[in-house]
Amino acid sequence: MNRRRRDRSEQAHRTGAVVRSALGTLARLVGALLVAALISGLAYYGWTFARASPRFGVRHLSFRGVVHANEEELTRRAGLVAGTNIFRIDLARAAREMEQDPWVRQASIERELPDTLRVSVTEHRPVAILALGPLYVLDDHNRIFKRVTPTDHLDLPVITGLTREMVEQGRDADALVTARSIVAAWARLPLAAYAPLGELHADFDAGERTWTAWAGDRAPVRVELGSFDFEGPAAVPAVLGRLERVWTELERRHARPKSIDVGNRLRPDWVAVELE
């Protein structure tokens, strides 16, 4: 009899322990849920307050990387209005709208609390003007990205002799690569300081595309560069290096050239110079 009472007592004790443990777990769970609900409520209240508070109205716009684009035009395109709550602005959408400006290759916008938007812009870097009837701007990635307007104020070499149809159809892609290589290599020469490249003309001669440049601050000097159809743009530095040596020697002698021919592909060591 005593044994039965003892067994029942132990069983009741174990049952009570299980119940107390379950109640403790439930209490902790309820507490965690209440804390989470409180935090969520505070976060929602804080977010609602921030989106409505005039403290977070846009007062300052900071641009970085803008050289040719117009900051006011970029602001207008993005729909950024002073006083607009900084948290209500879709930054990704605003950046995409700025990228519709022909000068802008990429844009990003960041918030700086409480009232500033910082705009980072990567522009197309113009390297030449391409004459295809109307004038277009060519960038350093061989992309024709806009028409030239009077407000651009660009002082760049002009590439002539290519046709609009061939460029649009991609058939003059190699020619554009060669042209850009000549323009870029010329700009790196010490020669560019006193004989900047003004025009680069492509023409066909006996089935080959040949290149002629006009350069100089005074009366332009005609420079025959020859053809790069076989060697490709890789041959450009050697040809311009030869031109650099010849022109430097002429400067040393105070001789004014009228034309220089460094484009003899069969005899690259031959240079023809006509003096004024």
Give pLDDT, residue 48.
Answer: 60
DSSP state for residue 67 in the 8-state scheme: S
> Who's near 142: CB < 8 A, 6+ residues apart?
173, 176, 177, 180
**In the predicted structure, residue 186 carries a pLDDT above the cut 60:** yes
Give pLDDT, residue 44.
Answer: 43
Task: Tell me how far CA of residue 66 lies from CA of 74, 89, 103, 140, 156, in angstroms.
Answer: 10, 21, 9, 17, 19
DSSP state for residue 270 in the 8-state scheme: -
Helix or strand or coil: residue 77? Answer: helix
Helix or strand or coil: residue 4? Answer: helix
Give pLDDT, residue 256.
Answer: 92
Helix axes 91-98, 71-78, angle to 10 degrees: 130
**In the predicted structure, residue 19 carries a pLDDT above the cut 80:** no
Tokens of 121: 């812009």
Check residues 225 and 24 and name the one with the higher pLDDT: 225
Pick the closest to residue 186 from 227, 138, 228, 223 (CA basis).
223
Give pLDDT, residue 268.
Answer: 79
Give pLDDT, residue 5.
Answer: 55
**In the predicted structure, residue 52 carries a pLDDT above the cut 70:** no
Give pLDDT, residue 184.
Answer: 95
Q: What's the pLDDT tens digit per position in 105-136?
A: 999 999 999 999 999 999 999 999 999 989 99
Residue 47's pLDDT band (boundaries 50, 70, 90)? very low
Helix or strand or coil: residue 200? Answer: strand
Residue 33's pLDDT band (boundaries 50, 70, 90)? low
Kind plus residue range of the DSSP H or E element containing 272: strand 272-275
Count of positions (residues) in the chain: 276
Q: What's the pLDDT tens digit per position in 66-80?
A: 999 999 999 999 999
| Spatial contact of 58 and 81, defined as CB atoms under 8 Å apart | yes
Q: What's the pLDDT tens digit per position in 195-238?
A: 999 999 999 877 788 999 999 877 899 999 999 988 889 999 99
Give pLDDT, residue 42.
Answer: 42
